[in-house]
Structure 1
Amino acid sequence: MTEVKANQGDAYGQILEAIDSGIYRPGDRLVENELAERFGMSRTPIREALQRLETQSLLTRDGRSLIVASLDHNQLSELYTVRGALEGLAARLASRHATPEEVRVLREMLEADRALVDDPKALSRANRRFHRQIHLASHNRFLVQQLDLVHRSMALLASTSLEVEGRSRDTMDEHEQIVAAIEAGDSDTAEAALREHISRAFRTRLKVDALKTEKASI
């Protein structure tokens, strides 16, 4: 069993992180006593965390067992549709409200992330931080809350589109366009650039899924 270091976070946060990092993948069964042992806590907070994750549709029932949920084609399409709209709005608002310090942080993230183009998993983590920074730069707490929910559901994707050859470098170029528009205060371009960025990621994922389906049918 892969060990996870206990920290000061709650059971919910630790289980969510384990799903997000791929320790638990779609279809994996989550058992209270095993989780309690892994995280070094009693079963009560584990049970409460599992109930919360089930309510958020991150876990689903398979008989009496709880398993990590997976997304079918329609759910994936719905998720990316909502993500594109909300992320685009975040970029639009960030172009209006981001402080010079926040724009500088985005620039610094962008430069640091370029060194990770050959490490898709590391770049995927950095990509989440980059998008989160744009969310915060929107200075709209309700939008940030909704985007947090969307990105929790993204943890149900078993792989990252950044694993596709060439996608990492394309992503960096797209991030550059987004930051440039935010920096310039060009809200229309910032929103359009981020929405197109999400659309390209979705198209890449659809192609990957189609290839997997084709190989499985051979």
Structure 2
Amino acid sequence: MKPAQKDAYMLILEAIDTGLYKPGDRLVESDLAERFGVSRTPIREALQRLETQSLLARDGRSLIVASLDHNQLSELYVVRADLEGLAARLAARHATSEEVRVLRDMVEEDRALLGQPAAMARANRRFHKMIHLASHNRYLVQQLDLVHRTMALMATTTLAAEGRDKNALAEHDVIVAAIESRDEAKAEKALKDHISKAFMTRLKSDARNHDALH
């Protein structure tokens, strides 16, 4: 798929998600059109849509990539934990044997990525997306897509924290084991615990960064 055929909205979203544009960066219509080889009209529409979704914010006349304050972060993780937990519960109930097999393969294959935060973050997104799809509930998938889009506003991955990638993978292993055994309550609890630990890691990392700046 050539970039020009790709949706301008998705192109900008991916650029934010991969850290090409970070919170506070200014997005200029002409620059984006040139970078992605897309005309300015779809870029303008994409920027309006991203602003409506609070992924972009106004800074005078400019549009910048939004950042999340402590309260927004806490609110996001509360919603994420409940929605992801529900996805795991439904996956334990509805996942096909092929979907369960793919989840298991992901955990095994991701061991090779330990120590590579960016690759691990991509693999982590794929893993969570697979659980969302395995829930077989389109409305839940839509809500989780929205949550994960907002998570793109976090400039760093918690998987970069020392030892977090190994622990996260062990947590993924427990989640998949619960889904494999069709234990809905255990799958839900395992995923909620996983999100809670990721949130604690982020809070610690933010506190350290805050100290470093003052």
The alignment yields a C-alpha RMSD, in angstroms, of: 0.8
Aligned partners of 2:6, 2:177: CA distance in 1, in Å?
36
Q: Deviations over 1:136-157 (max 9, x none)?
A: 0000000000000000001000
Q: How does 1:1-218 map to 2 (within 5 A)?
A: 6=3, 8-217=5-214
Aligned partners of 1:66, 1:215: CA distance in 2, in Å?
28
Unmatched 5+ stretches in structure 1: none
Aligned partners of 1:171, 1:88: CA distance in 2, in Å?
16
Number of aligned residue pairs: 213
Aligned partners of 1:203, 1:165: CA distance in 2, in Å?
13
Report the Cα offset of residue 7 of structure 1.
Answer: 5.2
Aligned partners of 1:203, 1:92: CA distance in 2, in Å?
23
Aligned partners of 2:120, 2:210: CA distance in 1, in Å?
26
Aligned partners of 1:207, 1:137: CA distance in 2, in Å?
32
Helix, strand or coil for the counterpart of 1:139? coil
Q: Deviations over 1:75-105 (max 9, x none)?
A: 0000100000000000000000000000000
Q: Deviations over 1:16-63 (max 9, x none)?
A: 000001110000000001111111111000000000000000000000
Report the Cα offset of residue 8 of structure 1.
Answer: 2.9
Report the Cα offset of residue 6 of structure 1.
Answer: 2.1
Question: TM-score, normalising length from structure 1?
Answer: 0.96
Q: Give the % identical residues.
A: 71
Aligned partners of 2:123, 2:208: CA distance in 1, in Å?
27
Give the letter for the 1:29 counterpart: R
Aligned partners of 2:60, 2:138: CA distance in 1, in Å?
38
Give the letter for the 2:23 counterpart: P
Unmatched 5+ stretches in structure 2: none
